[in-house]
Amino acid sequence: MNETPTPATHDIGGDPRFRCVAVERDEAPPDGFGKRVDAIRQILAAKGLMTVDELRRGIESLPPEQYFDLSYYEKWLLSITRLMAEKGLVEEEFS
């Protein structure tokens, strides 16, 4: 058990760091920013320009300090913009 490798940043099922952290019971729907990012992901996916798997890969590649600091849709936005830059669909400034 002690030789188990460290999991990837996003692979936090059972992570003992959160063992004593109460779940933050925020029920609010996404704000306007979040809804726009969410909608853009759906639009780009419907146009065949990206998959949800690519979105996840981009989120998972964020460094841990960003992964745990940025908000949910901020992470999505960084993943989507970089992915579109990677595919050459927007300028390099977004990579």
Partner 1 sequence: MTLSPGTEVRVRDDWPERRGPCHIRTPHYVRGRMGMVARHLGNFPNPEDLAFGRPAPVRALYHVAFAQPPLFAEGTAGDDILIELFEHWLEPA
Partner 2 sequence: MSPPPRPAMVDLLARFEAALAARGLLEPGEVEARIAITDRASPAIGAAMVARAWTDAGYRALLLADGRAAAEDMGVTMVGSPPLGVLADAPGLHHLVVCTLCSCYPRAVLGYPPHWYKTAAYRARAVRDPRGVLAEWGTVLPEGTRVRVVDSTADYRWMVLPEQPPETLGWGAERLAGIVTRDVLVGVALPVPV
Residues forming the site for partner 2 (CB under 8 A): 10-19, 21-31, 33-40, 42-44, 46-47, 49, 56, 59, 68, 70-74, 77-78, 80-81, 84, 89-91, 93-94
Least distance in Å: CB of 60 to partner 1? 7
Residue written as tokens 């809804």? 35
The size of the interface with partner 1 (CB under 8 A), counted in residues, is 15
- CB neighbours of 49 closer than 8 A, spacing ≥ 6? 84, 87, 89
Using CB under 8 A, which of 2, 5, 24, 47 touches partner 1? Answer: 5
Q: Quick one: 5 or 14, whose CB is closer to partner 2?
A: 14
Residue 95 binding partner per list partner 2, partner 1, none, with a CB distance cut-off of 5 to 8 Å that depends on partner kind: none
Residues 25-84 that bind partner 1 (CB under 8 A): 51, 53-54, 56-57, 60-61
